[in-house]
Chains A and B, each alone.
Chain A
Amino acid sequence: SQKIEQNSEALNIQEGKTATLTCNYTNYSPTYLQWYRQDPGRGPVFLLLIRENEKEKRKERLKVTFDTTLKQSLFHITASQPADSATYLCALDGGTGANNLFFGTGTRLTVIP
């Protein structure tokens, strides 16, 4: 069956450290993968997109990697801040050409001051 799993439901880290979130997928052939941030009671907000032919993408303190052989994406937040506390969702397309997304279970990140 198809699955998108994110490493843990919750992750606590100290301010200033690097947070690393994992997304593993099974029985999907995505052409791209996206990461979103979701705050309680709000809609997800887009952060980064990485395509199947790209290994790494960066945006300010964010970095994402995509390994289609391992079927895994890693999402890093460097120099983390309490304001980074939120739920982070990975999402991928179904490889059919449509833009609809399949979302992972999410990781709730808490950055402790």
Chain B
Amino acid sequence: DSGVTQTPKHLITATGQRVTLRCSPRSGDLSVYWYQQSLDQGLQFLIQYYNGEERAKGNILERFSAQQFPDLHSELNLSSLELGDSALYFCASSLGASGGGEQFFGPGTRLTVL
């Protein structure tokens, strides 16, 4: 158990809908990362927050947004969903914002868009 929790575990929805994925980082970690894993694209970095502020951005679509709250939990919002958004979404956390250091991954949320 990494100490990172993600809810829900599974999500099935229809095209055009909006969903929210939630992540609670490991106790003491200030950085939260979101990654998307699909069969054809592998594990792709979406966005990083550090202590409530956006720190780095990857190939995150404009239809996707995220935030980190004062209690350090984070939410990833996916809107106008398309079939191609079906994937495993992982949240990870680390103590710092830079300099390396391992990332602790949550169990993931499996999103299926029908």
Please tell me if the beta carbons of B102 and A98 are within 8 angstroms of each other in the complex. no
Query: Which of A20-28, A41-49, A60-68, A69-77 has 4 or more CB atoms under 8 Å from chain B?
Result: A41-49
Please tell me if the beta carbons of B45 and A100 are within 8 angstroms of each other in the complex. yes
B70 touches A (CB below 8 Å): no
Please tell me if the beta carbons of A106 and B106 are within 8 angstroms of each other in the complex. no
Bound-complex Cα distance A96 to B2 (A): 26
Please tell me if the beta carbons of A103 and B103 are within 8 angstroms of each other in the complex. no
A113 touches B (CB below 8 Å): no
Please tell me if the beta carbons of B48 and A100 are within 8 angstroms of each other in the complex. yes
- Number of interchain pairs (Cβ within 8 Å): 68
Which residue from B58, B94, B105 sits with its C-beta under 8 Å from A45?
Answer: B105
Please tell me if the beta carbons of B107 and A43 are within 8 angstroms of each other in the complex. yes
Please tell me if the beta carbons of A32 and B42 are within 8 angstroms of each other in the complex. no
Contact with A along B44-73 (1 / 0, CB 8 A): 110010000001101000000000000000
A103's closest neighbor in chain B, by CB? B43
Please tell me if the beta carbons of A46 and B104 are within 8 angstroms of each other in the complex. yes
A51 touches B (CB below 8 Å): yes
Bound-complex Cα distance A103 to B33 (A): 13
Please tell me if the beta carbons of A100 and B100 are within 8 angstroms of each other in the complex. no
Contact with B along A80-104 (1 / 0, CB 8 A): 0000000001000100111111111
A18 touches B (CB below 8 Å): no
Please tell me if the beta carbons of B45 and A49 are within 8 angstroms of each other in the complex. no
Bound-complex Cα distance A89 to B108 (A): 17
B37 to chain A, nearest CB (A): 9
Please tell me if the beta carbons of B97 and A43 are within 8 angstroms of each other in the complex. no
Interface pairs (14), CB distance under 8 Å: A34-B100, A41-B108, A43-B105, A44-B90, A46-B104, A89-B43, A97-B98, A99-B31, A99-B56, A99-B96, A99-B101, A100-B56, A101-B45, A103-B43
